[in-house]
Structure 1
Amino acid sequence: MTMKTLVLLLSTVSTALIGGLFYAYSCSVLPGLTRLSDLSFLQAMQAINRAILNPLFFISFMGTLILLPICTWFFYEKNPSLTFYLLLAATLLYAGGVFLVTMVGNVPLNDLLDGASLEKMSASELSALRNKFEPAWGMFHRIRTIISCICIAIVAYTALISRTP
């Protein structure tokens, strides 16, 4: 296996891992959390947002941000092929639609929630915090989930066509 093939394989796996995480979250975690009371919802989101800050998450989330551009560079030629342009598209989509959306959208909301002393808040304050957090966080999450799935399709397709003689 060449280095080029290995990096493409790792890029495909890392893109699928992070996209799968977001997809599974959309299909299971968020629908379950929406059924909770304001306090329970906010406590659960605080716990999840704290728990996800771990090495396994960072390896896939940041690894994809690093691997995709490296992979794209490996496929650059004097006259770039479709493979190069597909990888470039996946790189730009991931950087903007997944990484940037997370950093500019989800993380500030996570920080807002993390700073809240939920046990000290009244029912109306909890409701107001949830109404400020949940719709915006969900919108940003849907964006990054959709973009992640598009990136998976692009990178997987690229892996398939790069093997064709």
Structure 2
Amino acid sequence: MHSLRPEAAGALAAVAPRDLATRPVLVAATIGTGLMAGLYLAFDVSVMPRLARRDDEAYVTAMRRVNGVLDNSGLFGLLFLGVFLATGLAAVLQRRRERPEAARWTGAATALYAFSVAVTVCVNLPLNRRLARAGSPTGADLAAVRKAFDRPWRSANVARTLACTAALGALGRALVLHGRGAAHGA
């Protein structure tokens, strides 16, 4: 078994617990942001185009079911809010480690992800609730319910996709800069 050289052992002992968490928190934020960007993108390129070909009743029914599954998924809620917290924490830890460039990129990612959270809370969730409260509309009412929901929801989802994708890019840059700082002993 190899033992640490005295100077390496001393350096390791001097590392505070928050310093050990810096990279894993940044990695977790990056992975979570990628998952959220992928979820939103799946709606943009797959779910919504497929539903667009359905009649009004099938569209409204499917969106209600999808929203119900996501609203009642503890895993989705944990990921949605956990990414926001992890990204913010990663920015704070980068700043504390005196890695200003990585901190700036992580801060930008936090702001971009916060924008996606705001869009979700201010646009997508209220639309989902309105769709759920619409009762059992028929005929022209069903078409009006769909029309009031579809375009604003899809536009907001595109904004979330773009914000999360940009946040993912910023976190990727922060990871590179974090790695450079570690390689130089920062």
Q: Same fold (TM over 0.5)?
A: yes
The residue matched to 1:117 in structure 2 has which SS?
coil
**2:59 equivalent in structure 1:** 41
Identical-pair percentage: 26
**Alpha carbons 2:119, 2:160 under 8 Å: kept:** yes
**2:114 equivalent in structure 1:** 95
**Alpha carbons 2:123, 2:156 under 8 Å: kept:** yes
| Closer/same/farther in 2, CA of residues 57 and 5 from structure 1, 3 Å limit | same
Counterpart of 2:122 in structure 1: which amino acid?
A: V
Question: Which whole-Å CA distance do the structure 1 matches of 2:138 and 2:98 have between them?
Answer: 63
Give the count of matched residue pairs. Answer: 162
- Which ranges of structure 1 fall in alignment gaps of 5 or more residues? none
- Which ranges of structure 2 fall in alignment gaps of 5 or more residues? 1-18
Q: Is structure 2 residue 126 aligned with structure 1 residue 108?
A: yes
Question: Which whole-Å CA distance do the structure 2 matches of 1:86 and 1:140 have between them?
Answer: 24
Counterpart of 1:87 in structure 2: which amino acid?
A: T
**Which of residues 20, 26, 39 in structure 1 aligns to 2:38?**
20
| Cα deviation, residue 27, structure 1 | 1.4
The residue matched to 1:142 in structure 2 has which SS?
helix
**1:73 equivalent in structure 2:** 92
The residue matched to 1:85 in structure 2 has which SS?
helix
- More deviation, 75-84/124-133: 75-84
Counterpart of 1:33 in structure 2: which amino acid?
A: L
**Larger Rg over CA atoms:** 2
Q: Is structure 2 residue 23 aligned with structure 1 residue 31?
A: no
**1:138 equivalent in structure 2:** 154
**2:15 equivalent in structure 1:** none
**2:141 equivalent in structure 1:** 125
Question: Which whole-Å CA distance do the structure 2 matches of 1:59 and 1:122 have between them?
Answer: 36
Question: Which whole-Å CA distance do the structure 2 matches of 1:141 and 1:41 have between them?
Answer: 17
Question: Which whole-Å CA distance do the structure 2 matches of 1:81 and 1:154 have between them?
Answer: 14
| Cα deviation, residue 156, structure 1 | 1.5
Give TM-score scaled by structure 1 length. Answer: 0.93
Question: Which whole-Å CA distance do the structure 2 matches of 1:99 and 1:25 have between them?
Answer: 16
**1:8 equivalent in structure 2:** 26
**Alpha carbons 2:101, 2:177 under 8 Å: kept:** no
Give TM-score scaled by structure 2 length. Answer: 0.83
Counterpart of 1:104 in structure 2: which amino acid?
A: C
**Over aligned residues, Cα RMSD in angstroms?**
1.5
Instruction: Please list every run of at least 4 consecutive aligned residues from structure 1 whose deviation after the TM superposition is greater than 6 angstroms.
Output: none
Q: Is structure 2 residue 174 aligned with structure 1 residue 158?
A: yes
Point out which structure has higher relative CO (alpha carbons under 8 A, 6+ apart).
1
